[in-house]
Amino acid sequence: MSRGSEIVPFSICFVCAGNICRSPMAEIVFLTRVEQAGLAQWVTATSAGIGDWHVGERADQRTLDALATRGYDGSKHRAKQFDGAWFPTLDLVVALDRTHLRSLQHSAPTASDQEKVSLLMSFDASANGIWDVPDPYYSDTQTFDRVLGMIERASLALFRQLEPAIRQGALR
């Protein structure tokens, strides 16, 4: 986490289909947890989509509304496409469903990079075998709210798992 006086933050990328619904939610929720814990200089998080359909666009308005209802600000988000060349700079790549997981593992240049890929729901012990965060894009406002709830629980679980190691690195 640090090399001499240089801080090398732990780096995460959340990935969904088009980077306008689920992965921006995960990025914003996770970064909020990091900031609340006072660890912003030690962790970076971003999000991306498997596809390029929405590159440069804001998050879906229903995503922004769901986030705002719970006190999050998603206004600065702009969609981007995941690039396999990012793997060497990332410590963890978090897929929002198993389709993304397979795609990311397939695009990973090395076995070590493949091991960086995990499902977000795998961090939530209360998920009871639910591995995929459903895509709310073709659904209603209530589905966006339900998806955000799933992402909040799993993101908190992920943060709690990483926090001790991040704090240990921050104290070096």
Catalytic annotation, residues: 16, 22, 135
Cβ proximity of 77 and 24 under 8 Å = yes
Q: Which of 12, 3, 6 is nearest to 117 (CA)?
A: 12
Question: Taking CA 156 as the corner, what is the angle to CA 142 and CA 115, rounded to the nearest 5 degrees?
Answer: 105
Report the b/e string of 123-157 with b at 16+ CB within 10 A.
Answer: bbeebeeeebbebbbeeeeebbebbbebbbbbbeb
The owner of tokens 């090398």 is 8
Question: Taking CA 93 as the corner, what is the angle to CA 88 and CA 96, rounded to the nearest 5 degrees?
Answer: 160
